[in-house]
Structure 1
């Protein structure tokens, strides 16, 4: 949770490979990150540290390189949903069945 947005884009595949390689055969990964659509509203401090921002489609594509099943959820305040992607403040994923 709240790590992948701090990983340079050039290293994101290595990060996901490391996550998958360290899971048990029946393990799963939970990855969460702020939605890139919220970036314009972020503080300067936040923008400086979140160097690799994702939308749901790009995060799904990255996780699908190492997982057969990727479930995407959006969060707005305390509500978890599968609604309109651009309105989500936070993306939460469940990645299962590693390749």
Structure 2
């Protein structure tokens, strides 16, 4: 146990035991930016990961496409057997690797989904805040490689900001958001690759079945990969 002052209530000695086991956690590059610039946005992001975690609970091998700093990935790790998280940007993978915790084993890889599928067998997959960054002319290649990375019956969750939300997006977000969609188009496009697509609306941290044009964010649960 590291040296420390005694807390007034003895049950809080657990806090120091966790420090001894895990150290003091640090934010990832993206989470650090949101926490310091707009803290509530960190909550919204983590709420999306919690949605994924609960729906994919019990899956053995899960793929995350476009993990960025993988800060929210631990919420999914808490519910599934193992997560393989990939991103096309080596900067984010290095950042995530620099914060690796042996108590939360995670496979991290650099992978450009336009170049090919992720090797391995995955029984579920998800991708949050990625599809809107894919140029429309590249979307088919992205989706084909994404689908080729998972088993035939794997549930897939894809999340993206709605087209309507872009009127309120920051200049930084708008610069990268080249492929936002309405809820109806989002559902229709994903039905090219999956037999069943269930689209949920999200406002702030609340997921619901409300009117798509009033949703800030869209979450699609896709089942039954088309072959």
Q: Give the alignment partner of residue 85 of structure 1, picking from 187, 209, 212.
A: 212
Distance 1:91 1:84 in 2: 11
State the match for 2:149 in structure 1. 22
State the match for 2:168 in structure 1. 41
Q: Per residue, is there more strand in 1 or in 2? A: 1
Q: Which has the larger radius of gyration?
A: 2
* SS, match of residue 24 in structure 1: coil
Offset of residue 71 of structure 1? 0.4
State the match for 1:3 in structure 2. 130
State the match for 1:97 in structure 2. 224
- Does structure 1 residue 64 correspond to structure 2 residue 191? yes
Distance 2:153 2:183 in 1: 24
- Return 5+ residue gaps in structure 2 as ranges: 1-127
Distance 1:84 1:58 in 2: 14
* SS, match of residue 73 in structure 1: strand
Higher relative contact order (CA 8 A, sep 6+): 1
- Return 5+ residue gaps in structure 1 as ranges: none
* Normalised TM-score (structure 1): 0.95
Answer with 49-58 or 88-97: which moved more.
49-58
Distance 2:223 2:147 in 1: 9
User: Which whole-Å deviations, capped at 9, do the CAs of 1:40-99 have from their partners, x for residues lacking one?
Assistant: 111111111111111111111111111000000000112111111111110000111011
* SS, match of residue 53 in structure 1: coil
* SS, match of residue 152 in structure 2: coil
Distance 2:170 2:147 in 1: 32
Offset of residue 19 of structure 1? 1.3
